[in-house]
Amino acid sequence: MRAAEDRRTHLVTGAGSGIGACVARALLDRGDDLLLVARDEARARELEQEYAGARTLVADLADIASIAPLDLTGPLDSVVHAAGVVALGAVGELSAGDWRSQLDVNLLAPAELTRIALPSLRAARGTVVLVNSGAGLRANPGWAAYAASKFGLRALADALRQEEAEHGVRVTTVHPGRTATPMQEQVHAHEGREYDAQEWIDPATVAATVLHVLDLPRDATIPDLTLSPGPRA
As annotated, the active-site residues are 146
Do residues 139 and 148 touch, judged by C-beta distance below 8 A?
Answer: yes
Residues 92, 144: Cα–Cα separation, whole Å: 10
Q: Kindly report the CA angle at 48 between 67 and 46, in degrees rounded to 5?
A: 85
- Can you point out the beta strands (E) in 47-206? 55-58, 78-81, 127-131, 170-176
Three-class DSSP category at 8: coil
Strand pairing of 33-38 and 9-13?
parallel
